[in-house]
Structure 1
Amino acid sequence: MEAAMGLMRRIPPKHTETALSALLSLMPDNSSDLLSQVDQPLQVLCDVECGKEFILCEYNRDADSYRSPWSNKYHPPLEDGSLPSSELRKLEIEANDIFAIYRDQYYEGGISSVYMWEDDNEGFVACFLIKKDGSKTGQGRRGYLEEGAWDAIHVIEMSMKLSVADGHLCNMGRMIEEMESKLRNSLDQVYFGKTREMVCTLRPPSEVAQLRMPDSA
């Protein structure tokens, strides 16, 4: 199991599904551990009734069907699928509308979904998801991303009751914004910063290269 997880950490994200399928066939006894520990790329399905796409994940899944946050119906149809209470459903609808605005402002497009369900402690759990396919924005132009996607998953457990629904949305939104800001700063300073440093070391700018060239006699 340790070797399998080490392999999955080194596999490019676009090959995750293929590699996971191969491991499941080789290690059927560890299928539950593999499926729970390996993060797979988020998938998208269109809600035909509303004409909107929604994100598929374990948190809106029941059997082999997935609940749409727009129509609150399962696809494919499922008669006895679990649904949030009417009060929580109202909060879920509002959260989806607000999170769509957040997605457009910070990600400049993409697909977002919010799912909520009751827990066993008289509270509720909320899952916020965003999927942005960056390869669609470049359209083959030079200097733009050719292939790449960003998947964001935030799971928040609320222990308080739903007496102040607006306060819950504000608190959850603030938490997500702070967490994603820290993540972006970390990526920019550590990964992109180190990449720029290495590129400049291997291939210095033209101004620096001219200064290093010896004067011709």
Structure 2
Amino acid sequence: MASGDPYDAALDLLRRLNPKHVAEHVDNIITLVPELAEDLLSSVDQPLTLRRCKQTGRDYLLCDYNRDGDSYRSPWSNQFDPPLDEAGLGGVGAGGNSAGAGGGAVPSERVRKMEMKLNEAFDVYRELYFEGGVSSVYMWNLDDGFAGVVLLKKASGPNDGSSSGVWDSIHVFEASERGRTSNYRLTSTVLLSLATKGASLGEVDLSGNMTRQVEYDLPVENDESHIVNVGRMVEDMELSMRNLLQEVYFGKAKDVVGDLRSIGSLSEGQRDRDAQRELIGSMRR
């Protein structure tokens, strides 16, 4: 039975479509029902896209958390591209964020310093763990602390035209400061897309996403402690989700393929079955 709420119906439809093309599906739904644009863009995780910072020449990732209208804030320069109309979009942003020089909400000076340090830390993490790709961290103020998002993207181009893969991870965290401790809530989503084809394997397209949540109370001495705590939480979550993906996606795909087709020839399989029946028959005599 169809849902009476267009937003719920849109989410229900997206869950049934190929997750590899979620961005295209969202655009199509927004074209049909423009009033759902803001809700869908803020709630549906999509593969991350890149933009180059005009001030620093460095790549950064786009998401709803650094978007203001049709402009996106660079974590390297703290500027919006394209520049926002100061007269139309100035003022104080939600959650205590202040307005940037060119309009649009930017974090306070203290939170911006932590944002810069986290960007440096995850730039090193990305190079060590992914050996490439792009990372971006965005933060904003809350009434009792701060929040942020860590974005990581690694794309592997076609290898001799036979295989490709894309890893997108989105880690949204909130920190509620309580004196010498802080409560952290982390929601992580991984979007994985793999494709390969060849004469011996045929064509395989494996796509999906996974979301997990955790909550911790950790000791805090200063802002450096927040950097360490957030970095450790995201690193542990990425490791856990990689292991789950290994078991769920790759393990299940291997079982399905193994049931559908045989690696060896039919004649070899028949010989093995004949030998097995002969052995069982001799044991019964």
Q: Name the TM-score class by shorter chain.
A: 0.7 to 0.9
1:34 and 1:49, CA in 2 relative to 1: closer, same or farther beyond 3 A?
closer
- Following superposition, the deviation at residue 106 of structure 1 comes to 2.0
After the TM superposition, which parts of structure 1 deviate over 4 Å for at least 4 consecutive aligned residues?
A: none
- 1:24 Cα deviation from its structure 2 partner: 2.1
Q: Which residue number in structure 1 is paired with residue 139 of structure 2?
A: 116
> Paired residue for 2:243?
185
Identify which of 199, 202, 212 aligns with 2:272. Answer: 212
CA distance 1:33–1:71, shift in 2 (3 Å):
closer
Match of 1:22 among 28, 36, 39: 28
Higher strand share: 2
Match of 1:170 among 225, 228, 233: 228
* Percent of residue pairs identical: 44
Which of 190, 197, 201 is equivalent to 2:255?
197
Measure the CA separation in 2 of the matches of 1:139 and 1:95: 33
Q: Which moved more, 1:26-35 or 1:83-92?
A: 26-35
Mapped to 2, the partners of 1:29 and 1:159 lie a distance apart of: 33
Deviation sequence 1:166-213 (CA, Å, 0-9, x none):
211111111111211221111111221111122233334449837615
Question: Letter of the aligned partner of 2:113 in structure 1?
Answer: K
Higher helix proportion, which one? 1
The size of the alignment, in residue pairs, is 209
Shift of residue 48, structure 1, vs aligned partner:
2.1
TM-score, normalisation: structure 2: 0.65
TM-score scaled by length of structure 1: 0.84
Cα distance in 2 for partners of 1:205, 1:59 equals: 47
1:98 to 121, 130, 143: 121
- The gaps in structure 2 that reach 5 residues or longer are 1-5, 85-101, 180-219, 276-285
Root mean square deviation, CA, Å: 2.5
**2:31 & 2:73 partners in 1: Cα distance?**
28
Which of 39, 63, 69 matches 2:75?
A: 69
Contact persistence 1:65–1:76 (CA under 8 A): yes
Gaps of 5+ in 1: none
